[in-house]
Amino acid sequence: MANTMLDMHAYVAQRLISLLELISRRQQKLANRTTPDGTVYEDMLLLVLEIINSVLTHRLKNNIQLVYALLLKREIFVPLRSHPRLADLVKNIEQAIDHFSARLSEANIKAPSTNEILELLEQSARTWVPSRMESLPDLKFQYEEEQDSREFFVPYVWALVHRRTFIYWSDEKAHILEEYRQISGEAETHPPEESPTATMTTSSSSKSQHQQ
């Protein structure tokens, strides 16, 4: 999806770079330790960098707010340059940062406003050549399904049908719904039904005739 993203909002761009900065700091703290958390943060860092790289490679001209956010936080890439898994991505991203930073320096505007900077970035983007960045493999994900996934999904789908449709279902006969409740831990309390008690009264009349 990153390679088709258009007109990223300023808030989204800032939050994306803030997330990158946060993960980078935590990964650096755990860099010299052999812990599972360190590997997790490294994988997350790689994922965010791949997203940014994909946007810049395919849709830079349509995402100037991301370029602006990168320029504001360009220092966060310095400690990542020597990382073996991240070096290629960081180098690619810094190609774009260096290009637009040079264009801003050439403009020589003193104390520019945000709007002036964005306008300069848009003008510079018109002459941007995507081939400046190295072509890296596109970001891809693979869905892996567990062998017993149907044990959850089948009751779940039927539970949705039960809730969202106007078809009458007998709870006593719809056993698959009970399976879903057990899997999801859903506790449905039903008011106790009053069981009618039948009082049987027996009356017996006995007539005894005494003959003397």
Cβ contact 71:14 at 8 Å: no
Answer yes or no: is 70 within a domain.
yes
Examine the domain organization and report whether 164 and 127 are in the same domain. Answer: no
Answer yes or no: is 122 within a domain.
yes
Examine the domain organization and report whether 100 and 22 are in the same domain. Answer: yes
Question: 19 Cβ partners below 8 Å, 6+ apart?
Answer: 48
Answer yes or no: is 189 within a domain.
no
Examine the domain organization and report whether 159 and 57 are in the same domain. Answer: no
Answer yes or no: is 79 within a domain.
yes
Cβ contact 116:123 at 8 Å: no
Let me know how long the chain is: 212
Q: Is the pTM of this model over 0.85?
A: no
CA distance 86 to 103: 26
Residue 68 carries which side chain, given as an amino acid letter? Y
Cα distances (Å, whole numbers) of residue 154 to 149, 150, 179, 180, 188: 8, 5, 10, 9, 19
Residue 30 has pLDDT above 50, yes or no: yes
**What's the rounded mean pLDDT across residues 169-197?**
57
* Percent of the chain topping pLDDT 70: 76
Residue 181 has pLDDT above 70, yes or no: no
Answer yes or no: is 4 within a domain.
no
Residue 88 has pLDDT above 50, yes or no: yes
Structural domain count, the chain: 2
CA distance 69 to 64: 9
Find the domain containing 165 and state its range: 149-184
Answer yes or no: is 163 within a domain.
yes
Examine the domain organization and report whether 70 and 107 are in the same domain. Answer: yes
Answer yes or no: is 203 within a domain.
no
**What's the rounded mean pLDDT across residues 179-204?**
47
The secondary structure of the chain in percent helix, strand, coil, rounded to multiples of 5, reads 60, 0, 40
Q: Which of these ranges, 99-103, 177-181, 196-200, has the smallest mean pLDDT?
A: 196-200
